Amino acid sequence: MKENAPSRHAQALNEGEIIQERNSSPKLKLEDYIAIQVRRKRVAQDLKITDVARIAKLSQGMISKIENAQVSTSLDTLSRLCDAIGLSISQLFADYDRPQGGAQLTKSGQGMEVVGRGTEKGHTYQLLSYNRGEKQLYEPFLITMDDASEVFPTFSHPGQELIYVLEGEILYRHGNHLYNMEPGDSLSFDAAIPHGPEVLKSVPIKILSFIMHDNK
């Protein structure tokens, strides 16, 4: 008997707290970026504005204006200021054009819990990354099994799957083949062929499962 894996069509039990770290603010103006970097470096070096002014041979007012993004300074002035605080020009601009990015952070134990046939057998499935859009390239699950006395389901669904054992020992079936898996072992396979846990040899068992979809 086969059943679809708990995937995009699974019913959500508890969405938990899937935290998305998104930086949606616009790119800093160059003056603001320079001000932040210069002030941060000066403070890290435990230097006062008066110290930097003396070393760089610049006025305290000019340094203050640079640190408050109130002036567009010349390259010569900026070079003298950077030398005084121990910051090279290349280091100053190293992060300016770096993409802001935006990653999804799922805290430990807070992945979305989804329902599958194995849920009733002492298994839990936590979806570690959740995309509400129509197209999903992959779905990562943390699967926990703690009941060695139940009969376990097999799954069959489109795509490729990779499982990686974190804890415990399991005899895993894929088609007519059985694989004994321990921590550190991985198995990749065609997910359309029936597969699933055959024998839980040492519990609790924790497995990372990555289901890759073909969205062409």
Question: Comparing C-alpha atoms, which of 153, 23, 16, 32 is closest to residue 101?
Answer: 23
Question: Comparing C-alpha atoms, which of 140, 119, 115, 143 is closest to residue 204?
Answer: 143
pLDDT at 164 over 80: yes
Query: For 78-86, what is the mean pLDDT?
Result: 93
CA distance 11 to 71: 56
**Structure confidence at residue 92 (pLDDT):** 86
**Class at the top of the CATH hierarchy for domain 2-21+103-212:** mainly beta
CATH superfamily of 30-92: lambda repressor-like DNA-binding domains (1.10.260.40)
Q: Where in the chain is the domain with CATH 1.10.260.40?
A: 30-92
**Tens digit of pLDDT for each residue in 65-81?**
999 999 888 889 999 99
Question: Comparing C-alpha atoms, which of 14, 106, 86 is closest to residue 44?
Answer: 86
Contacts of 31 (CB under 8 A, 6+ apart): 69, 70, 71, 72
CA distance 169 to 171: 7
Residue 9 CB: number of other CB atoms within 10 A? 9
List beta partners, residue 202: 169
**Structure confidence at residue 216 (pLDDT):** 61
What pTM value is reported for the model? 0.53
Which H/E stretch holds residue 76? helix 75-85
